[in-house]
Each structure stands twice: as C-alpha cells, then as structure tokens.
Structure 1
C-alpha cells in the first residue's frame, strides 16, 4: 500500500476566486470535510477572468438579475450557517496581489500558503480586506507570522506573476469555469452546494 493510500487518497483540489461568495462558504468547510476522509486540501486560487475569456460569461456580481439573487442567497447562506458575511465595497475585486502572494509563499511553505489563502478569503468577506492592495495582503500575512517584506517582494516578482497566470491557464485547460471548483481524484464538482456530493463521492464513487 502506498503512502497516499494510507493517508486516504490524493489531496482534494480546491480551486477558487478570492471574490467568490460561494467559495467563501466552501472555504470554511473544505478542510474539515477532507479530514473526515483522511485527505488533505490543495488550495488553488485563480481569477475567474481566465475562464470568462473562454466561456464568454461574466461574474454573478457583474450580471443583472443574477447579481441581486446572489447577494440575497449569500446573506441567506450566512444566516443558515451562522457565520459572518459582509460584502465589501467595490466588490468584486480581481485580487491578483492575493493570488500572487499565495503562489509565492507556496514555493517554500504550502501549509502557510493554505493558511494565508483562508485568512484572505475570510478577511475579504468579513472585514473588507482589499485583495487588490499588496500592503493589505502583506498585513494579513503578518498576522500569521509571515514576513511582510517577503510577501511584498513575492507579489512583485515577475516569476510569481508567471506562475499565477499559468495556474489560471491550467484551470481552464482542465475545464474549470466556476468558483469554487473541487477535484476529487480528477472528478470535478462545481459549487459550494456540491460539498455533500463531494463527501458522498469520497465514501465511494458511483
């Protein structure tokens, strides 16, 4: 038996846009869900703009009618789950500095990068964290004991910019067109409402 099989299986891939309301709710649960099945989570932030270029779609918050429904649904989900939810001003933000900070940090410490990703998406939807401001991202990292200057340098690093862009391209190449998007052993699931199905799949594919 391989080490991966002993742990329970390959990591669950969690693809998401930092400005995705549904990704926020999934981010609060995905790690606990994975732990129940002896899995780990690979966090994969990307910008949905990469997918929209292919599909011709645009985000919920930029689409009439869908925007109003989504905001009502997010508030309803927050009440149902008993968690804070405050849509920030100037939503949605692209969040490229946040994405680049993650991939910079992941090169040296994947666990710290995952913690930072969760801190950022929670900060965005609870405290209005500006994911377009490198200094705000560096400050969020500092609360986790991560060196602020290193994060700022990483956000500006041309190599990191390439990595972040390639991740978005990889997402699209694998068929990702929404957020959150979850892969379990390469099986795709779109949306936070698919978490129960993800859990059922982890118990045994059908």
Structure 2
C-alpha cells in the first residue's frame, strides 16, 4: 500500500475548505489514503514572518474575490464568514481527540466544521459551537467538551502544529506526498500529475 497523502490545514482557511472537497477523491484515485492534520496557522505565520491574507494590502482584496470565484468554479456553497478569520483551537483539539479512536468520525467532524463556518457562518472559535457540531455528528457532547480542555489534547494540538512547522508547513492547505510538499488548493492538479507520473 503506498504511503498516504498528508493534508495539513487550519479550519479558518478558505483554501483548505475548498481542498477538503477534493483531496480524498484525489487520493482514492491513486489508491492512497489521506491523513487529515489540523494545525494552527498563527504559529506558522510567526515562524515564517507571514501575515493573514485578509490583512495584506492588495492581496487581501484579491483573495476575497478569489474565494468567491473558486466556490463558483468548484460549484460548492461558500460565503465569507463574519468574523473572519477566527481561532480554531477548540476544533483542532476536538479533531485530534476523535482521531485517536475514530479516524473516520474525525474526518466527518472536520467536514462538518468547515461547512458550519464557510457555509453556515457559525462561529467555530466558540467551544460551545464546536461541541454542537460534534453532537450533530453523533459524538458524545459531554466527552467532547471535556476533551477540548484536557491537557493531553492541548499538548497534541501544539505538538502537531510544531511538527508541521518543523517540516516546512507555512500555510493552509499544505500537502505531503512521499515527502514532497505542495502548498495551496491550486496545487491539487500538480499533485495529481506528480502521483500519476511518479514525480519529476
């Protein structure tokens, strides 16, 4: 079995939301699994000296337009949430807790979080909102709420973010296939050609 594709993302990244609609299908086409790995962009931006797209002159306005255009091109629901962006710590911790025992459930939860934010405009920075999203996915709401505050999942989220940065992840989405890194939803086509050809 070939190595899985690794999909690093922050839940508040529109481009990661778009990528989440395609990456599993792409991986399956080449007989690969896809490991979803939420991280926090704040520390990555600090490490790279970057800043949020929305705050950058010229680039911020372009990105806002591009997100809407990309949604139309991909034919997926999307609206820029308010507030945007938001902290995604609770959602990331909840994911890692779920993933430790039920990876499929964790992935379904991640999709639901993306949809809640970029389709429903719900504030996923709020712990109560994250718990409600999990409960709608048949998660044990009480256990999920407790896990978000447990040191083990705080440490796990921090460790995953640090490990991603150590590997060179500076933005979201970021993919690794057989050790090769690809940044951005617009690199999915290149990633597919890399897999088809064996690289170049």
Which piece of structure 1 moves more, 129-138 or 188-197?
Answer: 129-138
Shift of 1:129: 2.4
TM-score (norm 2): 0.96
Q: Does structure 1 residue 55 correspond to structure 2 residue 43? A: no
The separation in 2 between residues aligned to 1:172 and 1:20, in whole angstroms, is 16
The separation in 2 between residues aligned to 1:24 and 1:95, in whole angstroms, is 13
Unaligned runs of 5+ in 2: none
Shift of 1:91: 0.2
User: Where in structure 2 are the equivalents of 1:1-206 lying within 5 Å?
Assistant: 4=1, 9-203=2-196, 204-206=198-200
TM-score (norm 1): 0.94
Off by >2 Å, runs of 4+ in structure 1? none
Say which SS state the counterpart of residue 175 (structure 2) adopts: strand
Shift of 1:199: 0.6
Q: 1:25-48: per-residue Cα shift (whole Å, max 9, x none)?
A: 100100111111111110011111
The separation in 1 between residues aligned to 2:146 and 2:169, in whole angstroms, is 29
Shift of 1:112: 0.9
Question: How large is the RMSD of aligned CA atoms in angstroms?
Answer: 1.0
Q: Would the aligned equivalents of 1:96 and 1:131 in 2 still touch at CA under 8 Å?
A: no
Q: Would the aligned equivalents of 1:87 and 1:128 in 2 still touch at CA under 8 Å?
A: yes
The separation in 1 between residues aligned to 2:59 and 2:142, in whole angstroms, is 40
Q: Would the aligned equivalents of 2:83 and 2:123 in 1 still touch at CA under 8 Å?
A: no
Shift of 1:64: 2.5
What is the number of equivalent residue pairs in this alignment?
199
